[in-house]
Amino acid sequence: NAGVTQTPKFQVLKTGQSMTLQCAQDMNHEYMSWYRQDPGMGLRLIHYSVGAGITDQGEVPNGYNVSRSTTEDFPLRLLSAAPSQTSVYFCASSFWDGGPHNEQFFGPGTRLTVL
Amino acid sequence: TQLLEQSPQFLSIQEGENLTVYCNSSSVFSSLQWYRQEPGEGPVLLVTVVTGGEVKKLKRLTFQFGDARKDSSLHITAAQPGDTGLYLCAGVGRGSGNTGKLIFGQGTTLQVKP
């Protein structure tokens, strides 16, 4: 099993450009999430999905779009990149049955710089 | 809004010392998780605590969930350089409308010097 994979590992964008961060998992997890990590702020939830066709907003959704057409893939789209979106982005997946356990398996991250 | 406050934010100690990291909130959580993250990698789950007052041990690491399920602590005995990393606590929300979303603390950067 590859677990959670993310591409690309590094990306530099100019302000106003758009791009898609890819995330895929092979563990048949229904629950997938996108986080951003900034120094001193832990991880903040951007968007999440409880299954194919269902997505919802997290703490910091502005400037990002997601879709979930398959169980395996959960891409994150930046519509018009801004310097404030410079961050490290992590995708995660988990098995969640509605109970207290929602242990996340994280990908290796994408380091994004917006100039 | 549920918040988790972690302390301290930075800790630099000598090999063999003991340390405790705290994760506090005014909100009740269904569970608390602890993750460890190394530079350039994603966080990796260490443990989940679910029951108030629960204590779990992982070799030299001891995790405790507060009786009221609002706080947790991580205690490391005889720290080693291999314990160096970023430690993150994360809570799963509780109550109606629970969506499984995790709230993360700011993290504690631990450096253990040989």
Report the pLDDT value the prediction gives residue A81, as an integer from 0 to 100.
97
Please name every residue paired with B63 in a beta bridge, in sequence order, or none if there are none: B56, B74
For B57-106, what is each residue's pLDDT tens digit? 999 999 999 999 999 999 999 999 999 999 999 999 876 567 889 999 99
CB A8 within 8 A of CB A110: yes
Q: Which strands make up the sheet holding B61-65, listed edge to edge?
A: B5-7, B19-24, B71-76, B61-65, B55-58
CB A56 within 8 A of CB A49: yes
Record: contact A42-B107, CB cut-off 8 A: yes
A113, two tokens: 């710089």
Report the pLDDT value the prediction gives residue A100, as an integer from 0 to 100.
86
Query: Mapped to the 3 state alphabet, what secondary structure does chain B carry?
Result: CCCCEEECCEEEEECCCCEEEEEECCCCCCEEEEEEECCCCCCEEEEEECCCCCEEEECCEEEEECCCCCEEEEEECCCCHHHCEEEEEEEECCCCCCCCCEEECCCEEEEEEC
| For range A62-91, the mean pLDDT | 97
CB A35 within 8 A of CB A92: yes
For B17-66, what is each residue's pLDDT tens digit? 999 999 999 999 999 999 999 999 999 999 999 999 999 999 999 999 99
| For range A57-84, the mean pLDDT | 96
Report the pLDDT value the prediction gives residue A27, as an integer from 0 to 100.
96
| Separation CA B83–CA A71 (nearest Å) | 35
Percent of chain A with pLDDT over 90: 90
- Closest A-chain CA to B42: A108
Q: Is the CB of A44 inside 8 Å of chain B's CB atoms?
A: yes
For A24-45, what is each residue's pLDDT tens digit? 999 999 999 999 999 888 899 9
pLDDT score of A83 more than 70:
yes
A41: nearest CB among B98, B100, B106: B106
Q: Is the CB of B105 inside 8 Å of chain A's CB atoms?
A: yes
B105: nearest CB among A42, A50, A102: A42
Report the pLDDT value the prediction gives residue B95, as an integer from 0 to 100.
61
Report the pLDDT value the prediction gives residue B111, as an integer from 0 to 100.
97
Arithmetic mean of pLDDT over chain A: 95
Report the pLDDT value the prediction gives residue B93, as an integer from 0 to 100.
81
| For range A1-7, the mean pLDDT | 93
